[in-house]
């Protein structure tokens, strides 16, 4: 399955403003790109990319004063299958975990494992360890929080979402990540594109999505507490401990976001297009 994806963001800055954006497709997907993304800026400005400490592509540039638009897009080839389910995947004891997974057991900016650990053990301590326990956590978060885009707040932590019982996809993900880590299961925060493929179309404007990856049975597995069903067509942009590690836009100065557009759509195969037009 081929998916066309992209974004267009317009800022207004009172003066030249350095920015670092994490909007490029994750380097692990470079081999899947059918049409290479082409970053453009209006007015034109120089940019360069580097890999951050989590292996994500970061792009840095200085936005000029006034209206400034960045856009990028491409086509990527994905499996077309829903997120895999491995119901027999087992938890790994902390003593046997790889060194690079341990950072995803610790508390972080939006992930208050110390506060929510007692609740997690009381709620999930008797659930079968492994996939079933992680799914039980996602089921709980999915039911506990009410999705409300109008109440999005960039500073909301997992514990605040737990108590307020409302949030957007990043809040669902932060709470699920926190409860997994509290149960000694490595979990990391992901963001990227997720279009309405294989599900009813959402009439609301598209945004980037957040989900989590959990380390079970020697590998990382995708879970989604917001939608809570296997989905088709995820396009990873970045991974980190939480949203603080992978902000879409990190601005080192004031700015106003004037417009925000994100898109994904399935691309018809050339043979099918020819058959329809011939």
Domains along the chain? 2-79+248-277 (2.60.40.2250), 94-232 (3.10.620.30)
Q: How far is CA 215 from CA 56, 167, 259, in A?
A: 19, 25, 37
Pairing of strands 166-167, 146-147: parallel
C-beta atoms surrounding 101 within 10 Å: 16
CA 152 to chain centre: 16
Rounded distance, CA 209 to CA 18, Å? 25
Tally of CB atoms within 10 A around 159: 19
Residues 87-105 pLDDT 10s: 999 999 999 999 999 999 9
pLDDT at 69: 98
Q: Partners of 75 in the beta sheet?
A: 4, 35
Q: What percent of the chain has pLDDT over 90?
A: 94
The predicted structure's pLDDT at residue 271: 40
- Torsion angles phi and psi, residue 145, rounded to 5: -100, 145
Summarised one tens digit per residue, pLDDT across range 121-178 is: 999 999 999 999 999 999 999 999 999 999 999 999 999 999 999 999 999 999 999 9
- Distance, in Å, from the CA atom of 211 to the CA atom of 36, rounded to the nearest integer, reads 25
DSSP H or E segment with residue 220: strand 219-223
* Residue 108 per-residue DSSP state: B
Residue partners of 209: CB distance under 8 A and separation at least 6: 169, 191, 192, 193, 194, 226, 234
């Amino acid at each position: 399955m081929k998916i066309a994806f992209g974004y267009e963001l317009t800022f207004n800055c009172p003066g030249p403003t350095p920015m670092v954006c994490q909007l490029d497709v994750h380097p692990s997907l470079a081999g899947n790109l059918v049409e290479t993304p082409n970053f453009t800026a209006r007015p034109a400005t120089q940019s360069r990319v580097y890999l951050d400490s989590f292996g994500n592509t970061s792009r840095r540039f200085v936005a000029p004063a006034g209206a400034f638009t960045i856009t990028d897009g491409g086509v990527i080839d994905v499996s077309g299958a829903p997120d895999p389910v491995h119901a027999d995947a087992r938890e790994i004891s902390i003593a046997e975990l790889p060194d690079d997974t341990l950072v995803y057991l610790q508390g972080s900016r939006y992930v208050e494992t110390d506060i929510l650990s007692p609740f997690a053990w009381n709620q999930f301590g008797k659930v079968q360890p492994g996939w079933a326990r992680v799914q039980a956590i996602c089921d709980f978060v999915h039911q506990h929080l009410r999705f409300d885009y109008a109440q999005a707040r960039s500073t909301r932590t997992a514990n605040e979402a737990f108590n307020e019982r409302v949030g957007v996809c990043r809040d669902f993900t932060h709470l699920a990540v926190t409860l997994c880590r509290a149960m000694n299961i490595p979990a990391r925060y992901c963001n990227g594109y997720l279009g309405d493929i294989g599900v009813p179309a959402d009439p609301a404007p598209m945004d980037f999505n957040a989900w989590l990856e959990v380390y079970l049975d020697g590998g990382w597995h995708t879970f989604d507490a917001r939608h809570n069903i296997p989905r088709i067509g995820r396009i990873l942009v970045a991974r980190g401990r939480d949203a603080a590690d992978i902000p879409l836009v990190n601005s080192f100065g004031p700015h106003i976001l004037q417009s925000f557009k994100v898109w994904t759509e399935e691309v018809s195969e050339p043979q099918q297009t020819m058959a329809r037009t011939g």
